[in-house]
Amino acid sequence: MNKPETFADIAVLGAGAWGTALAVQAAAKSGAKVTLWARNQARAQAMRTVLENPRLPGIALPANLTVSSEITPAGLYLVCVPMQNLRALLADIPQSQAPLVLCCKGLETSSLLLAPELAAQCQPHRPVAVLSGPNFAHEIAAGLPAAAVLATPHANLRPQLVAALSTASLRLYGSADITGAALGGAAKNVIAIAAGVVMGAGLGENARAALVTRGIAEIARLAVALGGKAETVSGLSGLGDLLLTCTGVSSRNYSLGHALGKGLTLAEILQSRSSVTEGVATAPALLARAQQADVDMPITAAVTALLAGELDVPGTMQALMGRALKDE
């Protein structure tokens, strides 16, 4: 792998709340030239005019942050689009040796691939990393303290990326386990839906704690089966992200599950939302990937059945509580 020439030019691809938060942090850190790419030209123009993203109200865009609707060459790309848009975006990124840091979470529904697997397929000669952890965009943008994992198998590149993207308020930890980090970020959204259902249905804190704990166990089983490490799932990109997503009221996946637990239908919930709730698409893809690997993921299976309308909330809980008793 060739050493990247420079990270002086950073392109953040995806002008949602998460992409904007990372772009603001990157621009504020060192005064580097940062470009924030928005697919919609009118939206890009509006952000340039008001110097703010309406999805992050009150967060001013720094002067050295350029908002554009064109993907320009850069020394480093941070990819922050929804997972189901990743393949199309990868085809549009200019060919180079500039690293890709994947900040999207999930599996592609058509191929069942995790983000780094998809990037390796579409851009096989480019170094790839995953940025994942317990991070709400509005807190990152506001400069509140947070931590995340920067995972890549490229040992020489890892400290460069950690140094380039760490800030005074965002502490990054390096990891070689890109599969475990990517899987933790994807699967936690599914478990968060289940946790929301538990709380929305009034089943109590004990039930949520048990579900989150068993959720970690099933994610770890799949991580190992796919070549990752169980200990990665116990870190920031697994347990850390899961705790935030299963308890934070700002979590789209938890709030969707909470609404399901209250009796709303999936169609009603999604109709009222403008942003993507990744766990809805991830659940059936994650279950199919687990079945391919012959890994048992009962919580994921229950959430998938609930979202598909094959089970109601009482039936979902019965499916989980009625499983055969065994040692932990």
C-beta of residue 147 within 8 angstroms of C-beta of residue 236: yes
Catalytic residue set = 188
Q: How far apart are CA 257 and CA 303, in angstroms?
A: 9
